[in-house]
Chains A and B, each alone.
Chain A
Amino acid sequence: MDVESLGVWVPALPVASALFILVFLRGTHRAAARVSLSALTLSLLLAAGLLVRYLMGGGMAVIDTGGVFGSLWLDPLSLVLWAFVSGISLIVHIYSVRYMAEEPGYARFFALLDLMTGVILVMVSAANLVTLLVAWFLVGVVLYFLLGHDHRRPAAGRYAFWTQITYRFGDLPLWLAALILVHSYHSVSLPVIFARIHKAPGTELWGMPVPELTGFLLALAAFARSAQFPLHIWLPYTMDGPTPVSALMHAGIVNAGGFLFNRFAPLFEHAGWALHWTFGVGLMTALIGSGLMLMQNDIKRSLGYSTMGQMGFMVMECGLGAFPLAVFHLIAHGFFKASLFLGAGDVIGDARAHDGVPADPIYTSVVERRPAKPSRLPWLVAASLTVLVPVVVLSLSHFFVAEHLFYEQGVVVLLFFGWVTGAQALFAAHKMSQQDPWRLMLGILSSFVVVVIGYTLISHYFGQLLYPDEHESLRLYQAASIHRLSFDALVMLLAAVFVGGWALTFFAESFDFEGRLGARGRGVYLGVYALLSRELYVADVYERSSQLIVQWSRRLNVWLRWC
């Protein structure tokens, strides 16, 4: 047996553990947790070993079972995601050992967690379309049962159903894309299909190039899985499931969209319009998700919308052709969000136990009742730092690390967003009233420089790992490019919008906008607020449409006498 064949055990161990627990350890507590943890640990060690082996010069491999389904592809994407998924899952498992101790169905919970992990591991390494479809489909099914683990709560069931139905909707374009690819390229094997697309990218169906058509379908499948607007409504409501499931979902499962784009990267090289559409949807989701996040007063739902915003950024990165950056983003976000979810319970508990108000009467009278003395940098200095420093730091770091990519449109847009985000952080720091504003600004600036340089270096080397062929990265950026003139106009327009927004915020107090709004303006403001607080009525529209369809179904049944 060669070393690559050992790879089968990475997904097989958690699946075997799930079946073992369900058959033999259903009534146990400790034994089920031990078996589950042991299987996951072995799986992680094996995944890490295979990744290290690849980094030290080992090649890619396809483990073929010979049947229609079950083949695994051990390429850099699979190996990196194997290590990531099994790592996150192990953390969630360890957390669940005590967190779920008082819950009924303890062993079943671990079995489902194992099954979910195994299915995701198969999904990220599927070497053929049927295997991918099987795993993609099963993720939705297993997630439904995990989210509805506490069957005594109807709300858990309702929101698990929302998730299941959105996932099922997202399965349809993947089915169609898979069948179109099989019909057009006469194979279910992904490496074979990609090789044939490379040779004949102009193959047409229904008057459209097949890669472009399937690119749209794959993007739609990814949107449903990664909670893109308007298929996002399930995500913030899945908090009714157990916290470890929320952590696993927000850290891993919801990232499946980014994985799908990367898996089909050779196809997206010939699907420019699908990438432009992806960019638009990602941008809109990022804006809506981040906006709605700011309106929430429930920490877990706020984290849910934060994930939606992050998924928007990840999808947007794919739309720009920065595919490896999306994988780096999903891994970084995965660890970050898992830690937030797993810590959310403690934060809520602490907040309930301690209200944070010191009991000391001297503190209360001296510190709290004394208004802070506002002290800020001169506005010209602040504006220069805010606008110029991020541009200089971002441009220099990218220029030195990957000069050949510096002029690609996708990279320019990413730098633009980096500039906006960096400037926003500096601007927020400037707005804080501090006794020593120079010290604060210096601290923020040094953090910014360290983060940007670190992020640029890591994402560059990560990109080289995932896409060793540099031309492939370039082809993706070029597929995502638009006409030069339109691009320049778009960048200038966006820059004007952002600078205008900052100016508006900066001068909001001095111009007294709120006072000048008038009754009509306040009405509009309240209308927008109501629209956003009802989450744009998306859930209501779905609810009403589904009620209508079920009503027609009932009428048909009565008419046909239920036969």
Chain B
Amino acid sequence: MDRALFALAAVFVPIFPLSWVFNRTAALLPAGAQALVVLIVPQIGITLLAATFHGAPPPLSLRPWIMGLATASALLYALRALSARELSIWTRLMLCSGLAVVWLAWAAGSPGPVLRLMALGWGLPAAVALFLAGALTRRAGGAYIGLQGGLIAVMPRMTAGLVLAVLALTVTPVFPAFFMLWRGLESVPLAWLPFWLPLIFLWGWAAGRLFQDLLFGDYHGEPMADIGALSVALISVAFLVSLAVSLAGSGGASWY
């Protein structure tokens, strides 16, 4: 029973190799649905994790294996994000990389509410990025960043939203993921840290490569309409809430 729950959780809170199933399924859905999936499905996965081992943290003998798998999975996805140019793919790869922190924290015995906040720390900006990828696909026929040069010239509001989402996904302070990563790394043995820190570098590198194509250069595509006021309001509310959570409770980490 535990094994089945564990395997299901590995699909819902994606960790390699079962993350492949999560990614493949998400890719088949429309962008709006993908945004909901990345918000809700990891929360279901955390419920499943809580049910494994009768609600207790994993046995001590299993912990190093889980931590090792989470580390390898996070590094693999971060490395793969470097070459992704399609916004939805990039976002899913980054999300899979970031959500590995949940496994790390779970193996270290972090309480359920912290795991849920961690999943939201990465899930919320990923949802915003996927929503914007959908908007871009509808307008340009695809969300390949860099195909038409600096999008900021024609879609400044969309670009601003995307920049914030990318920053939040790549653990930039003062977004919640930064504090969640701190909390996650604080709770694991120090020997794991040298493997986790290159992740921060890879995330920054992936974000930098995306920004290069998103922000700089002359736009040479068809004229496009920017996102509407309602979308801007929704995105603003999402980021304001996450910033408030960060500033009031260091990403929510200090409440537990």
Binding site for B on A (CB under 8 A): 67-69, 130, 133-134, 137-138, 141, 144, 148, 151-154, 156-158, 161, 164-165, 168-169, 171-172, 175-176, 179-180, 182-183, 205, 546, 549-550, 552-554, 556-557, 560-563
Residue B97 at the A interface, CB < 8 A? Answer: no
- Tell me whether A175 and B82 are in contact (CB under 8 A): no
Residue B237 at the A interface, CB < 8 A? Answer: no
Residue B37 at the A interface, CB < 8 A? Answer: no
- Tell me whether A134 and B84 are in contact (CB under 8 A): no
- Tell me whether A164 and B190 are in contact (CB under 8 A): no
Residue B66 at the A interface, CB < 8 A? Answer: no
Name 15 A/B residue pairs within 8 A (Cβ), A-sorted: A134-B173, A138-B172, A148-B215, A154-B216, A154-B217, A157-B212, A165-B201, A165-B204, A168-B208, A169-B201, A171-B200, A176-B197, A546-B205, A549-B82, A560-B20
- Tell me whether B179 and A68 are in contact (CB under 8 A): yes
Closest to B24 in A: A563
- Tell me whether B80 and A560 are in contact (CB under 8 A): yes
Q: Encode B63-77 as 1/0 by CB contact (under 8 A) with A.
A: 000000000000010
Inter-chain CA distance A401–B119, complex, in Å, is: 60
User: Told that A137-B173, A157-B211, A562-B84 touch, could you supply 9 new A-B pairs with CB distance under 8 A?
Assistant: A68-B253, A157-B217, A168-B205, A172-B198, A182-B186, A549-B82, A550-B82, A562-B86, A563-B20
Inter-chain CA distance A42–B23, complex, in Å, is: 52
- Tell me whether B173 and A552 are in contact (CB under 8 A): no
- Tell me whether A137 and B20 are in contact (CB under 8 A): no
Q: Which residues of chain B come closer than 8 Å to A165, judged between CB atoms? A: 201, 204-205, 208
- Tell me whether B204 and A168 are in contact (CB under 8 A): yes
With A151-B216, A157-B217 as known contacts, state yes or no: A179 contacts B211, CB within 8 Å: no
Q: Which residues of chain B come closer than 8 Å to A554, judged between CB atoms? A: 83
- Tell me whether B178 and A549 are in contact (CB under 8 A): no
A550 CB to closest chain B CB (Å) equals: 5
Closest to A183 in B: B190
One of B23, B167, B178, B216 near A563 (C-beta < 8 A):
B23
Inter-chain CA distance A562–B172, complex, in Å, is: 25
- Tell me whether B216 and A156 are in contact (CB under 8 A): yes
Q: Which residues of chain B come closer than 8 Å to A563, judged between CB atoms? A: 20, 23-24, 27, 92
- Tell me whether B150 and A152 are in contact (CB under 8 A): yes
One of B23, B80, B201, B250 near A172 (C-beta < 8 A):
B201
Q: Encode B133-160 as 1/0 by CB contact (under 8 A) with A.
A: 0000000000000000010110000000
For the complex of A and B, the 3 pairs showing the least CB-CB separation, nearest first, are A157-B216, A168-B204, A563-B23
Inter-chain CA distance A175–B203, complex, in Å, is: 15
- Tell me whether A552 and B79 are in contact (CB under 8 A): yes
Inter-chain CA distance A39–B181, complex, in Å, is: 34
A537 CB to closest chain B CB (Å) equals: 21
Closest to B185 in A: A179
- Tell me whether B254 and A137 are in contact (CB under 8 A): no
Q: Give chain B interface residues in 91-135, CB to chain A under 8 Å.
A: 92
Q: Which residues of chain B come closer than 8 Å to A169, judged between CB atoms? A: 201
Closest to B251 in A: A68
